[in-house]
Chains A and B, each alone.
Chain A
Amino acid sequence: MQQYRAHLMLCGGTGCIASESLKVKEALSAEIKKRGLENEVNVVFTGCNGFCAEGPIMTVYPEGIFYERLTEKDIPFLVEEHLLKGRPVERLMYKEPEKRHAVPAMKDIPFFNLQVLRVLRNKGLIDPEKIEEYIARDGYMGAAKAFTEMTPAEIVTVVKDSGLRGRGGAGFPTGLKWELAGRVSSDTKYMLCNGDEGDPGAFMDRSVMEADPHSVIEGMIIGARAIGANKGVIYVRAEYPLAVQRLNLAIEQAHEAGLLGEDILGTGFNFDLSIYLGAGAFVCGEETALMRSIEGKRGMPIPRPPFPAQKGLWGKPSVLNNVETLAQIAPIILHGSDWYRSLGTEKSSGTKVFALTGAISNVGLVEVPMGIPLRTIINDIGGGVKGARKKGGRTFKAVQMGGPSGGCIPESLLDTPVTYEDIVQTGAIIGSGGMVVMDDSNCMVSMARFFLEFTADESCGKCPPCRIGTKVMLDMLNDITEGNGKESDIETLQDLCGDIISTSLCGLGQTAPNPVLTTIKYFREEYESHIKDKWCKAGVCRSLCTFIVDEKVCTGCGACQRACTQGAVTGEKKKPHEINQELCIQCRACYDACKFGSINIGPAAMREGLLKDTPAVSV
């Protein structure tokens, strides 16, 4: 085997590829060849590293030096300095937000060093397209143990004891699911994987499938053995082409290695695995709906019982697990349930991957032990709200968890530990792991409207409370954000929420009101100011705000003038500018462009006042 003195782990996840990491890869190969280093330096195109916003990312081993935002132009210099002269290039290293000094080693970057990697154990360390590299990191060892040393009942017991709960959203105990399906006798059973990540703002499953496809396959093989399934299907979104490509390749390799197909590991057990491309419907995250979709029908949920464990896909006993759940299985089998329980809490054991996005400094994928406070994730790993340290900068307003089924958690509850039971207390849910941070420039009423628009659109239409109820709520929220809200609206919304929750068949309808309920609970004053004062203080709802320049603060830098697409901002350089209310379309471009906080947002009435040339109301 070829030995190298340096390994360059370049990220090939979707995020980094979008930031042109393929060009960096070509430049690297060319430069290494030019310098005659082919036999000394190895370039590995890895799966998603998780720190997507800083891409393209590369880690150089053995030192573990972390480089970010690489471009092809940086490569000749980097190769010469670091690989030939042994001088790491500080200019390309990570710098802590709003501090200048570089942090060379990946292990010292707070974003990475507070994480515990179990699901993402191989991220950035292996080439996802090579089964050998997966095996070299204990890959398929869990499967080997499960097949040669354990009975199906023992596998179920270990998974049950580990306390692993479904990571797709509902948090149902995985071991219990397996036990139920294992008990039913049938000629055919199905082991299914849900890779139809539909939550807006979540991309954990995509990253796992792209970065470590074998970890999902291994989990499925073990699950199949535990329940006695001989057929398996991975349901993946058609919008994830790279994940599909890598999963297909991984299945092929596993077949060749005797880990799929007939007589797995010489035990006489057969398991066939195929991929099914989803066609895009959020409701297919619900297990009965997903099974209908594989059958080629409209993905509409059906009442339970019978539960899928008894009658699922094609009427046969079936188990559906989420990608992240399956990626946890192999280490649990290999290291035991006590090892797994060593992290997390009594009822929420192990680790959970979150997609940390929105108005935060360090955007990316993070895996943390269950039970750590939200504050640690947001402030320490995430580096806090983006731009918070600047003068007049942004402040934290809420974190949205659980996507359209979840809710918004305010600053006062940031010390809530991240566990299934504690997060539910706030009105949100852990969900599949989307964590979207919002700062004070976000309007919570619009946010609720945004989610309702989503659920109203994605409702399959089977149950009238969900189909019609969400539409009625959406209409009311539209009215409120457009300035037509009535004082009774808040109470009506709350009533409707209760009715929809109690009368919908599936999780989509039962949770759809959560974004509205939590925003009313924690940000009621915003609803009131929209309805009574016709004032969206965040400046998001266009018909409810007026933008004016604070002459005392404005430095006349002209940034707002350049940002305005309507030519509404006028003024001489270095003198306070002015906004022409007749031309202004309330797009907020000036507000976002201003570095000095000199643009104020007033209520809608103020604009009318200014247009009539009467004295303005002061903010």
Chain B
Amino acid sequence: MQKDINILVVDDEPVVINSCERVLREEGYNVHSAMRGKDAIHLMEENIYNLLLTDLKMPEMDGISLIEWTRKSKPSTGIVVITGYPSQQSIQDVLGLGCIDYVPKPFTPVMLTDVTYRALELAKKTPPLEDFPVGDFTPEMALELNSIINNYKNMPGNLIPVLQKAQEIVGYLPPEVQKQISSKLKVPVAEIHSVVSFYSFFTMKQRGKHLIRVCEGTACYVKRVSAVLDKLISELDVKVGEMTTDRKFSLESVRCLGACGLAPVMMIDQSTHGAMTPMKVVEVLDTYKQP
């Protein structure tokens, strides 16, 4: 029944490949495998895969490079990492790259099928990324950021303006961005992170194409903005502070937008929408959903 689903397993250990193939074929998936990153890319260029299961530590091309290639070239393929070193940091790093989930080695068949099933469900919901400006930190962005940092280099109190510009360019402030600013401005990363985490304007989470900010100021609260927020949550199927699976919207709540005369208020990108009602949420969202 799962005949149309193709999965690619990449690992330099034959025993892992064999067990993955056995377990997943039993579930009815089509499974291909590769032992090197290069071979995997070759296979992905020939076939369309719904899911890529990859190891991180491999000779020649490592898992991270393969993940980056896949994200750019085959964005509709979901990625799950198989790793023998599931440290907090490495997990966060790979999830930050856009992987859906991970399977720690060694794993039981049930663990593998569970993660695979969930990842396929999520990958199904995620359409190709081509038309979305994804907040990945590209080399071009890094160059632009460098020139910004140079402009501010000798100005006292430059950290917050630089972070604001960086967020404008990249969309968010992932650790790599903070590290780059740290080395250029000669400010410890810890200090940069302390500033990023202090101010509500800064975010370390990737944002969708449109940013929805719902006002939770007093006037909006009194006028029951909670009903508007609930409707947004159910319409977009997203939690506050997170991004929709299609990366179109990020939903955030803010303290006060200073437009209390129009309560309840929400802002989508730079435009303010006032006197919101749950019914109006649907209307407003529709105008942004059209291509």
Contact = CB atoms under 8 A, between A and B. Distances in A.
Indicate whether A and B interact: yes
Interface of A: 14-15, 17-19, 51-53, 55, 197-203, 206, 237-241, 276-282, 293-299, 314, 355, 357-359, 363-365, 400, 403, 434, 436-438, 442, 447, 450-451, 454, 458, 460, 565, 587, 589, 592
B109 interface: no
A299 B198 contact: yes
A297 B263 CA distance: 33
A18 B160 contact: no
B157 A281 contact: no
A189 to B, nearest CB: 16
B156 A314 contact: yes
Given A15-B274, A241-B270, A296-B158, A200 B261 contact: no
B261 A280 contact: no
Contact of A18 (B161, B198, B272): B272
B111 interface: no
A112 B160 CA distance: 41
Contacts, number: 145
Contact of B198 (A15, A276, A298): A298
A55 B261 contact: yes
Contact of B256 (A202, A451, A589): A202
Contacts of A239: 201, 254, 257-258
A279 B199 contact: yes
Nearest to B263: A357
B227 A587 contact: yes
Contact of A282 (B157, B195, B216, B255): B255
B255 A198 contact: yes
Given A239-B257, A314-B156, A358 B200 contact: no
A575 B137 CA distance: 62
Q: Is the interface of A mostly helix, strand, loop or mixed?
A: mixed
Nearest to A240: B258
B187 to A, nearest CB: 9
A438 B256 contact: no
Given A18-B273, A355-B260, 11 more contacts: A15-B261, A18-B265, A52-B259, A197-B256, A198-B255, A201-B219, A239-B257, A239-B258, A296-B158, A298-B198, A358-B263
**4 smallest beta-carbon distances between A and B, as pairs:** A52-B261, A201-B218, A200-B217, A279-B199
A278 B273 CA distance: 23
B37 to A, nearest CB: 41
Contacts of B48: none
Contacts of A587: 227, 230
Interface in B189-205: 194-195, 198-202
22 contacts: A14-B258, A15-B259, A15-B262, A197-B256, A200-B218, A201-B217, A201-B218, A202-B256, A202-B260, A203-B258, A203-B261, A239-B258, A276-B161, A279-B160, A279-B201, A295-B157, A296-B159, A297-B159, A298-B195, A357-B219, A358-B218, A447-B221
A197 B218 CA distance: 14
Interface-central residue, B159, B227, B255, B263, by most chain A CB under 10 Å: B255
B256 A198 contact: yes
A281 B255 CA distance: 10
Contact of B222 (A52, A199, A294, A359): A359
Contacts of A434: 218, 260
A473 B256 CA distance: 23
A203 B217 CA distance: 11
Given A202-B256, A241-B270, A18 B218 contact: no
B218 A52 contact: no
A279 B219 contact: no
Contact of A294 (B157, B218, B263, B278): B157
Contacts of B219: 200-201, 357-358, 363, 436
B227 A53 contact: no
A280 to B, nearest CB: 4
B128 to A, nearest CB: 32
B223 A358 contact: yes
A526 B195 CA distance: 41
Contacts of B273: 18
A279 B202 contact: yes
B272 A53 contact: no
Nearest to A565: B278
A355 B260 CA distance: 8
A547 to B, nearest CB: 15
A357 B219 CA distance: 6
Contacts of B255: 198, 200, 280, 282, 454, 458
Contacts of A201: 217-219, 256, 260
A367 B12 CA distance: 74
A296 to B, nearest CB: 4
Contacts of A19: 262, 274
A199 B161 CA distance: 23
A200 B195 contact: no
A14 B195 contact: no
B113 interface: no
Contact of A363 (B158, B161, B260): B260
Contacts of A454: 255
B271 interface: yes
Contacts of B161: 276-277
Contacts of B120: none
Interface string B31-66: 000000000000000000000000000000000000
Given A201-B218, A358-B219, A436-B218, A17 B272 contact: yes
Nearest to B152: A296
B163 interface: yes
Contacts of A589: 227
B126 interface: no
Nearest to B192: A296
Contacts of B274: 15, 18-19
B164 interface: yes
B156 A238 contact: no
A442 B220 CA distance: 12
Nearest to A18: B272
B198 to A, nearest CB: 4
Given A200-B217, A400-B218, A279 B260 contact: no
B222 A53 contact: no
A279 B262 contact: no
Contact of B157 (A18, A200, A296, A592): A296
Contacts of B278: 565
Contacts of A294: 157
A239 to B, nearest CB: 6
Contact of B259 (A203, A238, A241, A359): A203
Contacts of A450: 218, 221
B258 A238 contact: no
Contacts of A299: 198-199
Nearest to B215: A200
Contact of A206 (B163, B200, B258, B263): B258
A293 B159 CA distance: 10
Given A15-B274, A17-B272, A200 B262 contact: no
Contacts of B262: 15, 18-19, 52-53, 55
Nearest to B162: A296
A329 to B, nearest CB: 23
A206 B198 CA distance: 23
Given A18-B262, A359-B223, A279 B200 contact: yes
Nearest to B158: A296
Nearest to B273: A18
A52 B227 CA distance: 22
B245 to A, nearest CB: 23
